[in-house]
Structures are given as C-alpha cells and as structure tokens.
C-alpha cells in the first residue's frame, strides 16, 4: 500500500518504520515542526534515503491509499486534522484514543464526522493497542467463548521506567503529588486516556449500552527511593499512576479495567471473563505498547479499504459478538 502519515513524532516514525518492514511505501508525511519540514523521511527513521520529505502541506498525502494519523488523544483537538484527510476522500486510521469510541465524549463531533466521511467516501476508524486491542478487541475475543458473561475484569500493568520519556511525563513520573493532581485537573498531563472508550466498545459488541461508566486515576507515591532502568524517583514523589474504568448495567458492576503504570511496577496483562458456569483467565508477560500500537494500526490499515465510507469501530472488524447476561 501507499501510506501517508499525519504526525511524525515517536509513534508516527515507528509507524513509518514498521510500514516499510511490512512492504508498504511511504508516499507522504505531514508535521508542523519546522525542524522536520523538508527532511527525508528515511533519514529520520534510519533506513537511508526514501525520496519522500516531511511537509506541512496536507495535500502531500493525496497519493496515499490510506493515512495513518498520530497527533493527539482528544478528538476535539484533532478533529480538523481528521476532517482535512476525510475531505480528500482518503481512508484514515488514527491513534486518537477518544476516536476509538467517539460517541461517548464527543457525540456531536462523531455524528458530523460520520456524515462527512460518508459524503466524501472516506472510511474512518480510531485504533491502537489500548483502546483498540487489549481492553476491547482481545476481551471480546475471549468473552465470545463464554455462553453468558457475568463479569469482565482486566489489568494492564507495566514499569513506566521502561517506556519512552513522553510517556513518563504523561503519567507524572517525578512530580510531587500536588503538581500531579493540578496538572491532571488542568489537562496538562493526561495519564491514561480511554477507559470509557474500551468499556463502551465491549458493551457495543454485546449489543447493550452501560447505564454509567466511572473513570478514576490517582498517583502512585513512592514510599522509598525507587530506581528502575536508570530512572530514579525520590521518596514522596510520583512514580506513576493507578487508574480504573468501571462499566455498570443498572447498579451492577459488569466490566472493570485497571491500569498500573509506575516505576518498578510488575509487567503483565490479565483478562478474566466470569460466566455463570465457567471462567476464562488469560495472563501475559506484558504487551509492548509502542510496537503493539504500530502493529495494530497497520493491521487495521490493511483492512480499512474493505469498510464502507463513514465512521467505524474496531469491534466491526471482529467476527465475534458476546452475550452479557444477568440472572
């Protein structure tokens, strides 16, 4: 495929590298950073000269078969970017977490984006590792093997010291607790984005809507000096976060997702699906976030041309549905 990339930060560059490794061609890259504009894409990702340069002109993507978008987490902030691709009639796969299920936070924008995508003939989908894979697609696949699902719980845990520096900033590593809470409240750091989106995707695969979703995030405070992978957190400082999302039917807790990302955390992913007569439990050693994001986005991009124009959800690409049943 001929691939265009909108946003050439760490994830955009990884997308370009993995796309080339999968045999695709990079035909255009857009970014606003002045220090990148005009530079050869290959030289920026260490594969030699490709003959494609970074541009600030959206129309440099016009020859792409699909555009991979990786600039932000919140649809209201990247909406105009997505629309600019849609208006060229190009399929677009975005890492924007809130685009994975935009009807929750941005129902008006979601409906307008769907309308524009159908008008211009552009399939649009938000995907990634989480939301987009671990806490939704993978959970749906496991849950499909249970005749009647009673409760779903999942934990994603990893050592923030082993992730890239922008991620450590996002979860507040090294801040004092008050700085963390203030920055989270003001939106200067986001911690994890997408608890509710993943929950809504799971419920959508079951053909029901939750009565409510509750999201929480709190800092993990180092009780003693912590050191991992060369990252040091002093006692009393923020080592990262613990967060959760809980989805209810009526007053009954049906889905609980926990996210642990702090310096020194154990690395694992766990999914438990409780049925009325059986239980499925899966535990992995920890899915690597950035590589998994790139692989998921590319996998979706390789299928997106089979989708009709409009706004889509990752669960539409799965052959599975689940049954959530209460006694």
- Class level of CATH domain 2-128+294-317: alpha beta
pLDDT at 238 over 70: yes
Tens digits of per-residue pLDDT, 277-314? 999 999 999 998 899 999 999 999 999 989 999 999 99
Q: What percent of the chain has pLDDT over 70?
A: 99
User: What's the rounded Cα separation, in Å, for the pair 197 and 195?
Assistant: 6
Q: What is the mean pLDDT of the chain?
A: 96
Q: What are phi and psi of 100, to 5 degrees?
A: -65, -30
Q: Which fold has domain 134-286?
A: Dihydrodipicolinate Reductase; domain 2 (3.30.360)
Tens digits of per-residue pLDDT, 287-296? 988 999 999 9
User: What's the rounded Cα separation, in Å, for the pair 10 and 28?
Assistant: 17
Nearest to 265 by CA among 214, 217, 291, 229: 229
Provide the pLDDT for residue 325: 83
User: What's the rounded Cα separation, in Å, for the pair 37 and 254?
Assistant: 48
User: What's the rounded Cα separation, in Å, for the pair 229 and 215?
Assistant: 30
Nearest to 92 by CA among 315, 297, 316, 294: 297
User: What's the rounded Cα separation, in Å, for the pair 60 and 53?
Assistant: 9
318, 140 in Cβ contact below 8 A? yes
Cβ count near 321 (within 10 Å): 13
Mean pLDDT confidence for 88-108: 98
Mean pLDDT confidence for 199-208: 97
Provide the pLDDT for residue 131: 96
> Residue 220's pLDDT band (boundaries 50, 70, 90)?
very high
Specify the residue for token string 């959508």: 204
Structure-token pair, residue 270: 């766990």
Tens digits of per-residue pLDDT, 204-219? 999 999 999 999 999 9
Q: β-strands 92-94, 66-69: how paired?
A: parallel
DSSP 8-state assignment for residue 105: T
Which residues are registered as beta bridge partners of 157? Answer: 260, 268
- Give residue limits of the domains in the chain: 2-128+294-317, 134-286
Structure-token pair, residue 67: 């555009």
**Three-class SS state of 253:** strand
> Residue 159's pLDDT band (boundaries 50, 70, 90)?
very high
pLDDT at 65 over 70: yes
Q: What percent of the chain has pLDDT over 90?
A: 96
Provide the pLDDT for residue 103: 98
Provide the pLDDT for residue 305: 86
Provide the pLDDT for residue 40: 98
Provide the pLDDT for residue 318: 94
Mean pLDDT confidence for 227-252: 96
Specify the residue for token string 């052959």: 319
Nearest to 13 by CA among 78, 87, 95: 95
Helices then strands, each counted (H, E), the chain? 9, 15
User: What's the rounded Cα separation, in Å, for the pair 28 and 63?
Assistant: 8
Mean pLDDT confidence for 74-90: 98
pLDDT at 327 over 70: no
User: What's the rounded Cα separation, in Å, for the pair 91 and 89?
Assistant: 7
């Amino acid at each position: 495929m001929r691939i265009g990339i909108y946003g050439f930060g760490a994830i955009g560059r990884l997308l370009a590298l993995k796309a080339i490794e999968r045999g695709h061609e990079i035909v255009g890259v857009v970014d606003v950073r002045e220090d990148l504009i005009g530079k050869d894409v290959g030289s920026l990702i260490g594969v030699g000269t490709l003959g494609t340069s970074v541009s600030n002109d959206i129309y440099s993507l016009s020859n792409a078969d699909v555009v991979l978008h990786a600039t932000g987490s919140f649809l209201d902030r990247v909406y105009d970017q997505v629309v600019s691709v849609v208006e060229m009639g190009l399929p677009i796969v975005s890492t924007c977490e809130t685009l994975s299920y935009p009807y929750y936070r941005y129902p008006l924008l979601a409906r307008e984006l769907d309308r524009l995508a159908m008008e211009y003939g552009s399939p649009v989908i938000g995907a990634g590792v989480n939301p987009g894979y671990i806490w939704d697609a993978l959970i749906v696949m496991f849950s499909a093997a249970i005749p009647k699902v009673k409760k779903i719980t999942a934990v994603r845990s990893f050592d923030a010291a082993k992730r890239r520096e922008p991620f450590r900033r996002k979860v507040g590593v090294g801040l004092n607790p008050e700085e963390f809470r203030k920055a989270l409240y003001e939106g200067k750091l986001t911690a994890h984005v997408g608890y509710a989106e993943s929950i809504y995707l799971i419920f959508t695969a079951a053909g029901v809507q939750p009565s409510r979703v509750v999201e929480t995030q709190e800092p993990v405070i180092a009780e003693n000096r912590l050191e991992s992978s060369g990252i040091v957190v002093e006692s009393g400082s923020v080592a990262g976060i613990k967060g959760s999302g809980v989805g209810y039917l009526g007053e009954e807790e049906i889905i609980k997702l926990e996210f642990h990302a702090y310096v020194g955390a154990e690395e694992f992913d766990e999914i438990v699906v409780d049925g009325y007569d059986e239980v499925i439990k899966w535990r992995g050693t920890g899915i690597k976030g950035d590589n998994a994001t790139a692989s998921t986005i590319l996998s979706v991009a390789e299928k997106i041309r089979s989708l009709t124009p409009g706004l889509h959800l990752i669960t539409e690409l799965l052959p599975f549905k689940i049954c959530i049943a209460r006694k």
